[in-house]
């Protein structure tokens, strides 16, 4: 596989460097065109996000070293960055390592936040841009499609993205454990703290209904309500209004609890025992801890939520381990697929060679077999064809079988030697594409000018 | 007889496999295990129905002569309820609640005496069959109520002890458990009421007993009273939650004791 990858990420380079090396999305198509015009590069793709810039290319023949070098120079001159400094921040990979890296990136295993969802969309965008620009083809197109497939598989099979990593997402996932879905749930936000606001916003994003804000300072409540499209209730009527809400987020700076055990016990009777979820993010706490012992009342304070978050981290780590195994398997299966693809020119060549041998031999005997009728000639033709096919059947099956083996390339080489397929027949085989490099060499000068 | 017994053994073996698969689906993250539970238990159900059919041929009527038959039919109905609710909710955990219980009941039922209730007239036979079928249907619906209560209690505990959050652990949300339990109770309770009424009529008419119900009905009445209280409190005060779930489980246990013929 002459697939090469060159790039940098949050793991290898600081933000100052990353921001200098990103590709603006509006110029990406042009950059891709210039990339594929490089002498050694057949196909190329650029993934550029705030955390990474990676260039992926299929370079000609087996020249992965030179291919990577060409991409390095390309990146340096595109982004106007001293090439020798690039080496301090960039990594380069080839073949299986490059495929492995790409799969890991798409599956969000290399992300700053393990399992975050954004990267999949970014890879998809990069793929679509490259597709539109016509910079990817027979090798990178299936590779990228496979990478997207692997990413989806990782998400669905390991559930890596399901585990909450923030207080707001913990609140959402708890709410969804109590209520089947958040559709139509009414949320009350007491106090105007930042974290409470974030939690309320997360709930609304998942379908929770109207948010009502109550705060000691009315103007601040009004301001917040406008940003939500919610309404304001006077703080003094808190206890009466509480009854209408399924989820209550509290983040006031009150020194004493504002909701006491007795209040909530009365509340749950008034609610006819419909469950209520209290999220107390205030320090000191706004709601008495004992409230959690009342049936159908669920109270989570900041520490409880932090516990959920740290469990979420641990779960993601565990899911990532399973995901790594999955990715490794996918890389192997992709490699086998590529080897299989590599075999088809050999098979064509061997058939071609035997076909030529056959016509040459038949030609030599033509004079001696002059007395044969047309029908008899056809029979001789079919006989030789049948014989050749029978002879070829087992060797070709054996050759196809090598695709899944580690020593596949050597075996394929041996196969070619046995049938006398030297360099000459391979070069013939590649004849149709030979026009492309020659065309490219003429353009070399223009790229060197840059 | 021989053929019928072979079918029953096949059914039990398949139920055993599907119960194992149900636990596998809980412990491991194997996606397919839940589907296998359903497939294996459907095959078990087919064998079980085959057994009931052979038994019916032997008896020349509904296969409902002794307590063994009644429990056997109840197990069949419970598997049907499991399959229907699994297909609708896709909850793997249902299999892990239903199937072990079905197996235990089938096992106990083989230990029960094959004592046939002497029935004199055809009319009496028909009436008794009707009564038993209603009882079995009601109990099968309450199987689901029981499963929902168990799931509710586990999920509720996780929430109260702050162990929830990262995932639902294969359990439905509290609200889903509650609505599943309520829905099945609304089928089970009226059927149980009808069972007790028909039972009373049968006792009074055909047995000429001086009592409204006989001693062995104590557990059935106990179950009915508990469930009645739960239904009434739900209607009047929206009462639900942990205590209701515990009471439901008690009522279900009492009902099962009655159905395997335990006499108080």
What is the tens place of the pLDDT at every residue in A335-383? 888 877 778 788 888 888 888 888 888 888 888 888 888 888 888 888 9
Whether the predicted interface score ipTM is above 0.90: no
Cα A189 to Cα A220: distance, rounded to the nearest angstrom: 12
Among residues A220, A222, A295, the alpha carbon closest in space to that of B242 is found at A295
Judge if B131 and B212 occupy the same domain.
yes
pLDDT, position A396: 84
Within a domain: residue A306?
A: yes
Distance from the A177 Cα atom to the nearest Cα atom in chain B, whole angstroms: 5
For chain B, the average pLDDT equals 87
User: Are the C-beta atoms of A41 and A55 separated by less than 8 Å?
Assistant: no
Which of B174, B179, B237 is the closest to A177 by Cβ?
B174
Within a domain: residue A449?
A: no
Judge if B103 and B137 occupy the same domain.
no
Cα A118 to Cα A116: distance, rounded to the nearest angstrom: 6
At B178-236, the pLDDT tens digits run 999 999 999 999 999 999 998 888 887 776 666 656 667 888 899 999 999 999 999 99
A163–B173 C-beta distance less than 8 A: no
pLDDT, position A403: 67
Count CB atoms within 10 A of the CB of residue A25: 11
Range of the domain at B240: 120-264
pLDDT > 50? residue B246:
yes
pLDDT, position B167: 61
Set of chain B residues whose Cβ sits within 8 Å of the Cβ of A160: none
Which of A170, A178, A272 is the closest to B175 by Cβ?
A178
pLDDT > 90? residue B20:
yes
Structural domain ending residue among the three candidates A111, A141, A160: A160
Judge if B90 and B142 occupy the same domain.
no
Distance from the B142 Cα atom to the nearest Cα atom in chain A, whole angstroms: 22
B172–A180 C-beta distance less than 8 A: yes
Among residues A119, A92, A125, the alpha carbon closest in space to that of A106 is found at A119
Q: Which parts of chain A register pLDDT below 50? A: 424-450
Tokens representing B130 are 């009707």
Cα A1 to Cα B145: distance, rounded to the nearest angstrom: 59
Among residues B25, B30, B191, B49, the alpha carbon closest in space to that of B99 is found at B25
pLDDT, position B226: 96
Judge if B78 and B146 occupy the same domain.
no
User: Are the C-beta atoms of A72 and A24 separated by less than 8 Å?
Assistant: no
Judge if A181 and A155 occupy the same domain.
no
Judge if A139 and A185 occupy the same domain.
no
The residues that bridge with A189 in the sheet, in sequence order, are A213, A249
B159–A311 C-beta distance less than 8 A: no
Judge if B3 and B132 occupy the same domain.
no
Pairing of strands A276-280, A297-301: parallel
Judge if A52 and A102 occupy the same domain.
yes
At A89-148, the pLDDT tens digits run 999 998 899 999 999 999 999 998 888 888 999 999 999 999 999 999 888 999 999 999
Structural domain ending residue among the three candidates A310, A325, A348: A310
Judge if B85 and B170 occupy the same domain.
no
Judge if A146 and A181 occupy the same domain.
no
A178–B159 C-beta distance less than 8 A: yes
Which of A164, A177, A269 is the closest to B168 by Cβ?
A177
Judge if B128 and B98 occupy the same domain.
no
Judge if B140 and B264 occupy the same domain.
yes
Cα A202 to Cα A194: distance, rounded to the nearest angstrom: 12
Distance from the B241 Cα atom to the nearest Cα atom in chain A, whole angstroms: 6
Residue of B nearest to A302 (CA): B162
Judge if A66 and A203 occupy the same domain.
no
Structural domain ending residue among the three candidates B55, B81, B111: B111
Judge if B103 and B176 occupy the same domain.
no
Q: pTM, whole model, 2 decimals?
A: 0.74
Distance from the A37 Cα atom to the nearest Cα atom in chain B, whole angstroms: 47
Within a domain: residue A70?
A: yes
Set of chain B residues whose Cβ sits within 8 Å of the Cβ of A323: none
pLDDT > 70? residue B113:
yes
A178–B173 C-beta distance less than 8 A: yes
Structural domain ending residue among the three candidates A136, A160, A184: A160
Set of chain B residues whose Cβ sits within 8 Å of the Cβ of A176: 168, 173
Is A50 among the residues known to form the active site? Answer: yes
User: Are the C-beta atoms of A135 and A36 separated by less than 8 Å?
Assistant: yes
Within a domain: residue A328?
A: no
A296–B241 C-beta distance less than 8 A: yes
Tokens representing B20 are 């194992």
A159–B164 C-beta distance less than 8 A: no
C-alpha dist (Å) from residue A7 to A148, A263, A286, A338, A420: 19, 60, 50, 23, 42
Cα B248 to Cα B145: distance, rounded to the nearest angstrom: 8
Among residues A4, A72, A80, A14, the alpha carbon closest in space to that of A42 is found at A4
Average pLDDT over residues B34-53: 94
User: Are the C-beta atoms of A73 and A87 separated by less than 8 Å?
Assistant: no
B172–A273 C-beta distance less than 8 A: no
Cα A162 to Cα A238: distance, rounded to the nearest angstrom: 34
A174–B164 C-beta distance less than 8 A: yes
Set of chain A residues whose Cβ sits within 8 Å of the Cβ of B162: 300, 304, 307-308
pLDDT, position B229: 96
Number of domains in chain B: 2
The angle at the Cα of A124, spanning A123 to A128, to the nearest 5 degrees, equals 120
Q: How many CA atoms lie within 13 A of A78 on its CB side?
A: 23
Count CB atoms within 10 A of the CB of residue B83: 18
Number of domains in chain A: 2
The angle at the Cα of A240, spanning A239 to A246, to the nearest 5 degrees, equals 80
Within a domain: residue A69?
A: yes
Residue of B nearest to A314 (CA): B166
The residues that bridge with A440 in the sheet, in sequence order, are none
pLDDT, position B28: 76
- Going by pLDDT thresholds of 50, 70 and 90, the confidence category of residue B89 is confident
Residue with tokens 């490059």: A98
C-alpha dist (Å) from residue B232 to A273, B180, B224, B228, B252: 14, 18, 12, 6, 17
Q: How many pairs of residues across A and B have Cβ atoms under 8 Å apart?
A: 72
Judge if B94 and B164 occupy the same domain.
no
B243–A315 C-beta distance less than 8 A: no
Residue of A nearest to B175 (CA): A179
Residue of B nearest to A174 (CA): B165
Average pLDDT over residues B18-44: 88
Among residues B91, B82, B92, B96, the alpha carbon closest in space to that of B23 is found at B96
CATH of the domain at A47: 3.30.460.30
Cα A433 to Cα B264: distance, rounded to the nearest angstrom: 91
Distance from the B184 Cα atom to the nearest Cα atom in chain A, whole angstroms: 18
Residue of A nearest to B155 (CA): A177
pLDDT, position B210: 60
Set of chain B residues whose Cβ sits within 8 Å of the Cβ of A173: 165-167
Cα B253 to Cα B52: distance, rounded to the nearest angstrom: 25
pLDDT, position B109: 84
B176–A177 C-beta distance less than 8 A: no
User: Are the C-beta atoms of B14 and B44 separated by less than 8 Å?
Assistant: yes
pLDDT > 50? residue B35:
yes
The B-side interface with A (CB below 8 A) comprises: 31, 155, 158-160, 162, 164-168, 172-176, 179, 237-243
CATH of the domain at A215: 3.40.50.720
Within a domain: residue A71?
A: yes
Range of the domain at A203: 167-310
Within a domain: residue A393?
A: no
């Amino acid at each position: 596989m002459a697939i090469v990858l060159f790039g940098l990420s949050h793991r290898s380079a600081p933000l100052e460097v990353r921001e200098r090396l990103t590709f603006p999305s509006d110029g990406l198509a042009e950059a891709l065109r210039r990339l594929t015009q490089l002498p050694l590069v057949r196909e190329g793709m650029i993934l550029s996000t705030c955390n990474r810039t990676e260039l992926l290319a299929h370079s000609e023949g087996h020249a992965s070293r030179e291919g990577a070098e060409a991409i390095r120079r390309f990146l340096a001159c595109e982004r106007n960055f001293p090439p020798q400094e690039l080496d301090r921040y960039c990594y380069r990979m080839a073949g299986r390592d490059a495929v492995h890296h790409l799969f890991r990136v798409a599956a969000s295993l290399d992300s700053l936040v393990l399992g975050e969802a954004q990267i999949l969309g970014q890879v998809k965008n990069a793929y679509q841009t490259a597709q539109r620009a016509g910079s990817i083809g027979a090798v990178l197109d299936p590779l990228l499609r496979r990478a997207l497939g692997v990413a989806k598989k990782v998400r669905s099979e390991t559930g890596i993205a399901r585990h909450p990593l923030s207080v707001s997402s913990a609140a959402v996932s708890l709410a969804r454990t109590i209520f089947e879905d958040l559709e139509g749930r009414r949320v009350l936000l007491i106090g105007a703290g930042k974290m409470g606001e974030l939690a309320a916003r997360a709930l609304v994003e998942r379908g929770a209904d109207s948010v009502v804000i109550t705060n000691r300072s009315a103007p601040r409540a009004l301001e917040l309500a406008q940003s939500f499209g919610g309404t304001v209730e006077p703080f003094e009527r808190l206890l009466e209004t509480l009854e209408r809400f399924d989820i209550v987020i509290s983040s006031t700076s009150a020194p004493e609890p504002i909701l006491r055990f007795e209040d909530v016990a009365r509340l749950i009777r008034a609610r006819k025992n419909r469950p209520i979820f209290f999220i107390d993010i205030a320090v000191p706490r706004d709601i008495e801890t004992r409230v959690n012992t009342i049936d159908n009342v669920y109270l989570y304070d900041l520490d409880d939520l932090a516990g959920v978050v740290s469990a979420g981290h641990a779960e993601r780590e565990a899911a990532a381990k399973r995901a790594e195994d999955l990715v490794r398997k996918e890389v192997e299966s992709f490699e086998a697929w590529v080897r299989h693809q590599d075999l088809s020119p050999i098979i064509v060549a061997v058939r071609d060679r035997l076909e030529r041998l056959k016509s040459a031999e038949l030609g030599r005997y033509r004079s001696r077999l002059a007395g044969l009728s047309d029908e008899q000639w056809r029979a001789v033709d079919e006989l030789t064809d049948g014989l050749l096919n029978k002879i070829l059947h087992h060797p070709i099956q054996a050759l196809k079988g090598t695709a899944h083996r580690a020593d596949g390339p050597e075996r394929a080489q041996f196969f070619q030697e046995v049938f006398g397929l030297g360099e000459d027949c391979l070069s013939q085989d590649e004849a149709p594409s030979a026009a492309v490099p020659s065309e490219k060499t003429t353009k070399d000068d223009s790229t060197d000018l840059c | 007889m021989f053929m019928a017994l072979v079918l029953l053994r096949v059914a039990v073996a398949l139920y055993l496999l599907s119960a194992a698969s149900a636990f596998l689906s809980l412990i491991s993250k194997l996606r397919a295990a839940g589907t296998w539970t359903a497939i294996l238990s459907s095959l078990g159900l087919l064998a079980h129905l085959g057994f009931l059919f052979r038994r019916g041929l032997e008896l020349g009527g509904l296969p409902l002569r002794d307590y063994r038959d009644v429990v056997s039919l109840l197990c069949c109905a419970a598997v049907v309820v499991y399959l229907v609710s699994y297909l609708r909710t896709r909850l793997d955990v249902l299999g892990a609640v239903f199937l072990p219980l079905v197996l235990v009941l089938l096992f106990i039922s083989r230990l029960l005496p094959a004592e046939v209730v002497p029935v004199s007239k055809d009319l009496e036979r028909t009436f008794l069959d009707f009564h038993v079928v209603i009882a079995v249907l009601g109990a099968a619906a309450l199987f689901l109520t029981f499963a929902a209560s168990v799931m509710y209690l586990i999920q509720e505990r996780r929430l109260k002890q702050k162990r929830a959050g990262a995932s639902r652990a294969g359990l439905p949300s509290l609200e889903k458990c509650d609505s599943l339990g309520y829905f099945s109770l609304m089928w089970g309770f009226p059927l149980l009421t009808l069972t007790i009424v028909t039972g009373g009529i049968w006792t009074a008419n055909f047995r000429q007993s001086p009592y409204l119900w006989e001693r062995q009905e104590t557990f059935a009445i106990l179950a009915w009273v508990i469930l009645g209280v739960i239904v009434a409190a739900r209607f009047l005060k929206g009462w639900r939650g942990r205590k209701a779930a515990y009471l439901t489980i008690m009522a279900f246990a009492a009902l099962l004791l009655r159905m395997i013929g335990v006499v108080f």
